[in-house]
């Protein structure tokens, strides 16, 4: 198995596993290949440096004679140092600065002067930033070119250079002018190299931020998915177990007086268990296959009818009313309505005491029609203003679930054994449709859950 080490950010932080490929994908072709193979990039850099040194090396024998062989020592030292510029950029720059100074003292006219320092300046700025790159590279460049102050001694020893006789003299430049031009030019080239390294550093830093954002996004997605799984399993298991417990309690009581009725209750208990098992399989299937949760639900009306009948079989004196147009046949919206009502009735079944009446009111308030919308706009009410006044364009669906059980203040209501996740789950589902949920004591006695949702608008 191939194991790939994640690259490091400029600050040294490692890239999250599984995300390091993102930066390489952004650079396909040659750049991406060299980034995956840094040793090959080192070979290219060293090869470029060697080529730039060798193209003028033969002229050194004209000026130095056998002394030109000493140049190879400096060239070799710089070439070897460049192989370590990624891991020890400051030390490499210092070593190359000394080698460049040695080469300029030996032969001020060699053609690759300060090229090694350019590579080193790039590496320092790439790993330590522009300021560090400039502060270290530019003084090193100045140090190397201070040797030009001793060129009169070099000329007295070796005579006029081939470069002066065949290149600069025809251009009408003196020795001072020609060397000044070379020094100033390479000074700026070294600074530009540091700037390029800093620009690459900023690009890599931005890439690291993107990778970190991707990692956090993945974590948030995982947390959201776990919450979704927990919410779905809570809705399925809490509802089904509550109904099954109520049916089992009822069967135990009825068995003493009416065994035939007890058999019917036990059959309903068995059906509820099978339904719960089917719901769990559906949820797990959705998670495995990645299909939409809402697509696995039945139409809203059919789903709510079966839900209500199940709670009636469990013993709740339930009344359901629907006012206004039929609810939108949107699977996801229908699932939200189903789950809010299911959770509310399950809580009544679990905690309610002396409950004689449970009502579920589903009120569909359609938004203004085209003529009303024009009238509202003519009055200067924007869609935002209309929503603030409780008149959203999509209308509203208001769910109200109440019971007449004993109020908690009377000390008769069962103590809650839940975790509060049911109400939190209802709030999350409602928020998806710009809605809100209230759950608390009713005005006189019992408990009330009221949810306000904005139904989805058609295409």
| Helix, strand or coil, per DSSP, at residue 393 | coil
Flag whether pLDDT at 252 surpasses 80: no
Q: Residue 449: what pLDDT?
A: 92
Looking at 115-129, 252-266, 381-395, which range is the least confident one?
381-395
Q: Say whether 357 sits in a helix, a strand or coil.
A: coil
- Checking if the pLDDT of 328 tops 90, the result is no
Kindly state the tokens that stand for 303: 């789903």
DSSP state of 14: B
Which CATH architecture best describes the domain 299-459? 2-Layer Sandwich (3.30)
pLDDT given at position 450: 92
Q: Where in the chain is the domain with CATH 3.30.565.10?
A: 299-459
Lowest-confidence range among 96-105, 116-125, 174-183? 174-183
Q: In degrees rounded to 5, what are phi and psi of residue 381?
A: -95, 115
pLDDT of residue 168: 78
Residue 312 C-beta-side C-alpha neighbours within 13 Å:
11
Long-range Cβ contact pairs of 185-191 (< 8 A, separation 24 or more): 186/113, 186/114, 186/141, 186/145, 187/138, 187/141, 187/142, 187/145, 189/114, 189/118, 190/114, 190/117, 190/118, 190/121, 190/137, 190/138, 190/141, 191/121, 191/134, 191/137, 191/138
The residue among 189, 61, 179 whose CA lies nearest residue 115 is 189
| Run of H or E residues at 290 | none
Q: What is the mean pLDDT of residues 23-38?
A: 63
Alpha helices in 129-174 (DSSP H): 130-145, 151-158, 162-163
Helix (H, G, I), strand (E, B) or coil at 437: strand
Count of beta carbons in the 10 Å neighbourhood of residue 459: 3
CA of residue 16 relative to chain centroid, distance = 11
Q: Helix (H, G, I), strand (E, B), or coil: what is residue 327? A: coil
- CA neighbor of 363 nearest in space, from 268, 233, 451, 423: 451
In degrees and rounded to multiples of 5, residue 325 shows phi and psi of -65, 165
Position 235 pLDDT exceeds 60 = yes
- 155: tokens are 């000329």
Average pLDDT over residues 327-344: 83
What is the phi-psi region of residue 15: left when phi exceeds 0, alpha when psi lies from -120 to 50, beta otherwise?
beta
Q: pTM to 2 decimals?
A: 0.51
Structure tokens at 209: 């931020």
pLDDT at 401 over 90: yes
What's the whole-number mean pLDDT along residues 253-265? 69
Give the CA distances from residue 403 to residues 42, 174, 322, 349, 411, in Å, rounded to whole numbers and listed in that order: 77, 104, 17, 10, 16
Q: Average pLDDT, whole number, for the chain? A: 76
Beta carbons of 365 and 324 less than 8 angstroms apart = yes
pLDDT exceeds cutoff 80 at 406: no
Length of the chain: 459
> Residue 454: helix, strand or coil by DSSP?
coil
Taking only the tens place, the pLDDT of each residue in 31-82 is: 666 677 778 888 888 888 888 888 878 878 877 888 888 888 888 899 999 9
Q: Dump pLDDT digits (tens) for 113-129.
A: 888 899 999 999 999 99
Report yes or no: 123 and 41 within 8 Å, Cβ to Cβ. Answer: no
Pairing of strands 396-403, 436-441: unpaired
Q: 3-state SS string over 111-141?
A: CCCCHHHHHHHHHHHHHHCHHHHHHHHHHHH
| Segment 88-115 mean pLDDT | 88
Over residues 271-287, the mean pLDDT reads 66
Q: What percent of the chain has pLDDT over 70?
A: 68
**What percent of the chain shows pLDDT beyond 90?**
13
Handedness of CA 365, 396, 232, 18 (dihedral sign): positive
Mean pLDDT within 122-147: 90
Label residue 384 by pLDDT band (50, 70, 90).
low
The Cα angle at residue 432 between residues 431 and 438, in degrees rounded to 5? 25
Q: Quick one: pLDDT at residue 90? A: 92
Give CA–CA dist 305/361, Å, rounded.
13
Short-list 271, 413, 412, 398, CA closest to 340: 398
> What mean pLDDT comes out for the span 358-370?
81
Considering 118-122, 250-254, 374-378, the range whose residues carry the highest mean pLDDT is 118-122
CA-nearest of 244, 26, 205 to 127 is 205
**Which has the minimum average pLDDT: 155-169, 223-237, 374-388?**
374-388
């Amino acid at each position: 198995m191939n194991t790939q080490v994640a690259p490091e950010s400029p600050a040294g932080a490692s890239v999250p596993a599984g995300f390091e490929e993102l930066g390489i994908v952004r650079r396909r072709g040659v750049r991406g290949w060299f980034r995956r193979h840094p040793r090959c990039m080192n070979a290219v850099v060293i090869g470029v440096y060697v080529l730039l040194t060798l193209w003028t090396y033969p002229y050194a024998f004209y000026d130095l004679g056998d002394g030109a062989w000493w140049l190879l020592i400096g060239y070799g030292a710089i070439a070897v140092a460049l192989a370590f510029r990624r891991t020890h950029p400051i030390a490499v720059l210092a070593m190359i600065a000394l080698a460049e100074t040695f080469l300029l003292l030996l032969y001020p006219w060699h053609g690759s002067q300060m090229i090694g320092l350019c590579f080193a300046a790039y590496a320092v700025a790439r790993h330590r930033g522009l300021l560090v790159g400039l502060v270290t590279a530019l003084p090193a460049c100045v140090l190397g070119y201070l040797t030009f102050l001793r060129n009169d001694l070099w000329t007295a020893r070796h005579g006029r250079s081939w470069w002066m006789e065949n290149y600069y003299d025809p251009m009408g430049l003196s020795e001072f002018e020609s060397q000044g031009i070379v020094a100033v030019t390479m000074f700026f080239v070294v600074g530009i190299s540091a700037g390029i390294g800093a620009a690459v550093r900023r690009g890599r830093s931005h890439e690291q931020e993107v990778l970190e954002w991707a990692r956090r996004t993945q974590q948030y997605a995982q947390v959201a998915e776990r919450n979704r799984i927990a919410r779905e399993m809570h809705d399925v298991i809490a509802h089904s177990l509550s109904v099954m417990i109520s049916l089992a309690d009822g069967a135990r009581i009825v068995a003493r007086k009416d065994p035939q009725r007890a058999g019917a209750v036990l059959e309903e208990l068995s059906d509820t268990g099978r339904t719960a098992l089917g719901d769990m399989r559906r949820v797990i299937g959705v998670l495995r296959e990645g299909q939409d949760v809402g697509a696995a639900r039945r139409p809203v009306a059919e789903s709510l009818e079966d839900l209500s009948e199940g709670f009636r079989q469990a013993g709740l004196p339930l009344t359901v009313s629907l006012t206004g147009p039929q609810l939108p046949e949107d699977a996801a919206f229908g699932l939200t309505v189903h789950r809010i009502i299911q959770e509310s009735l399950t809580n009544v079944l679990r905690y309610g005491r002396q409950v004689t009446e449970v009502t579920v009111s589903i009120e569909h308030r359609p938004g203004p029609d085209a003529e009303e919308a024009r009238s509202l706009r003519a009055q200067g009410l924007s869609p935002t203003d209309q929503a603030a006044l409780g008149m959203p364009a999509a209308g509203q669906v208001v769910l109200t679930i109440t019971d007449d059980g004993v109020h908690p203040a009377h000390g008769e209501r069962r103590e809650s054994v839940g975790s509060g996740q049911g109400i939190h789950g209802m709030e999350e589902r409602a928020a998806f449709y710009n809605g809100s949920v209230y759950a608390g004591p009713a005005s006189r006695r019992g408990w009330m859950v009221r949810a306000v949702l904005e139904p989805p608008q058609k295409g």
